[in-house]
Structure 1
Amino acid sequence: LSDVNGNTYTYLLNGAAPAGNWTGLFRPGEKVLLRFINGSAMTYFDVRIPGLKMTVVAADGQYIHPVTVDEFRIAVAETFDVLVEPAGQDAYTIFAQDNGRTGHARGTLAVREGLQAEVPPHDPRPLLTMDDMGHGGMSGMDHGAMGGGHDMSKMKGMEGGCGANMGMAGMDHGAMQHGAAAAPAKGDERLIDMRAMATSPKLDDPGIGLRNNGRKVLTYSDLRSVFDDPDGREP
């Protein structure tokens, strides 16, 4: 999912590599405010603290109605403020795996220096689908209608035939819109390389690699500011 990833980089947390075990100290039962800032150039991270719920109270410096989650994805230059209340064990791992599952940054919340908790394994590597790229309508393609073209069995040197029929004249291109009308043409079509065929906001989508993972994941639809929108218009 990234051109350069954990196979090349060593991801850092507050300047420390995973083996460096950056440690933040806490007293059992106290409420701790953590500010996460993604200072990377291109990497998205999925952040969690196994064994602790995180209550997100601010996004990019703007206070929001508190949202309690197990995990959140943080994009380049994003900031999230979260509250945690560690109790019941002496150490917790702050775990931030990249969204391609090639590496991670990690640190520790502990009652004293020198402690560390178990570091979880990476989640399975996600695969980008056509739907993720705005081409979900491809699932509606009528492959059965692709007849009427080249009969491969009649090609020279292929007398045995493979039974494949490569014609596309009968393809139901309308079915590729997945029930949605194609985007209207605007301006000079020669300047357009590709148009997404099935766009949707997906504000409530946790994202690639985070769907149905058994954890409560923050989505953009969860973020509600504590102040009225000065714009006043509907989104």
Structure 2
Amino acid sequence: LRDRGDWGRMRMTPTDLSDVNGHTYTYLLNGVAPAGNWTGLFRPGEKVLLRFVNGSAMTYFDVRIPGLKMTVVAADGQYIHPVSVDEFRIAVAETFDVLVEPAGQDAYTIFAQDNARTGHARGTLAVREGLQAEVPRHDPRPLLTMDDMGHGGMGRMDHGAMGGGHDMSKMKGMEGGCGANMGMAGMDHGAMQASAAAKPTPGDERLIDMRTMSTSAKLDDPGVGLRDNGRKVLAYSDLRSLFDDPDGREPSREIELHLTGHMEKFAWSFDGQKFMGAEPIR
């Protein structure tokens, strides 16, 4: 009952993974519905570069090609050290370049299920038009936990005393915005040796309804619904640029920003400050 009450205060449920889903919409691959079977042709033994661009408005996809390893070679146009994976999660507007070497069969399914497991886009890599491979079933629908919401290890969320304060910064990949470890986002500040840190400026607590007292980097977490699924899944910690930092200097200052919000008012802010009333960061 206590857990249910916590979800109720957030106006959410453990299945609240997306606002847009396959019960209402059809997911497309290059403008083609799953039944249309978009097909890309290859020659046996050929190495093929596939560029995946998530052009959706609000949907995160989990992408795999059953029977084929994918080697990720670029992320958002930046070349990286190659990473071999079975699957990756792609957030809105992200781009991943992968290399595949189809061999041993005439057709492979390109399968992209949404993170809520309500629908999918699909196409085929084949040696000729008209072929198709088996289309996988959707994975089981994942359930969010309090840890996914940034409240793990606390026992309970602190809803009072502070006038609220829900720090959404750990909600990675959430459909609609912030990200509850559903996609793979975040910056690694652990290695940053800053000589001085600018603390967040107190904002309007009326725009914050809950707050997590402890956050942690989870760059090595592939996300909700992808953990321990038996496949090698890409995580942000796998992405290492081929290029050195062109600046080369160590950071001299750290600015910490908290993504905050109020679920009942449906208001989102940095440190409780709305964009219209925020002063420039100095």
With normalisation by structure 1, the TM-score equals 0.79
Greater shift in the superposed pair: 145-154 or 45-54: 145-154
Mapped partners of 2:39, 2:182: distance in 1:
61
* 1:99 paired residue among 104, 115, 135: 115
Q: Is the 8 A contact 1:49 1:93 kept in 2?
A: yes
Q: Is the 8 A contact 1:54 1:82 kept in 2?
A: yes
Q: Decide whether aligned partners of structure 1 residues 53 and 234 sit closer, same or farther in structure 2, where only a CA change above 3 A counts.
A: farther
Query: How far does the alpha carbon of each residue in 1:46-76 deviate from its partner, in whole angstroms, 9 at most, with x for none?
Result: 0000000000000000000000000000000
Highest Rg: 1 or 2? 1
Mapped partners of 1:157, 1:37: distance in 2:
16
Q: Is the 8 A contact 2:158 2:210 kept in 1?
A: no
Deviation for aligned residue 1:4: 1.9
With normalisation by structure 2, the TM-score equals 0.66
Aligned positions, number:
235
- Identical counterparts, % of pairs: 91
Mapped partners of 2:182, 2:239: distance in 1:
49
Q: Decide whether aligned partners of structure 1 residues 177 and 188 sit closer, same or farther in structure 2, where only a CA change above 3 A counts.
A: farther
Greater shift in the superposed pair: 56-65 or 222-231: 222-231
Deviation for aligned residue 1:176: 28
Mapped partners of 1:100, 1:23: distance in 2:
25
Q: Is the 8 A contact 2:81 2:241 kept in 1?
A: yes
Deviation for aligned residue 1:201: 1.2
Q: Decide whether aligned partners of structure 1 residues 61 and 172 sit closer, same or farther in structure 2, where only a CA change above 3 A counts.
A: closer
Deviation for aligned residue 1:126: 0.4
Mapped partners of 1:156, 1:45: distance in 2:
14
Mapped partners of 1:125, 1:136: distance in 2:
21
Q: Is the 8 A contact 1:137 1:197 kept in 2?
A: no
Could you list the runs of 5+ residues in structure 1 that have no partner in the other structure? none
Query: How far does the alpha carbon of each residue in 1:112-154 deviate from its partner, in whole angstroms, 9 at most, with x for none?
Result: 0000000000000001111011000244799999999999999
Q: Decide whether aligned partners of structure 1 residues 105 and 233 sit closer, same or farther in structure 2, where only a CA change above 3 A counts.
A: farther
Deviation for aligned residue 1:189: 4.0
Could you list the runs of 5+ residues in structure 2 that have no partner in the other structure? 1-16, 252-282
Mapped partners of 2:239, 2:229: distance in 1:
21
Q: Which runs of 4+ in 1 moved over 6 A?
A: 140-185
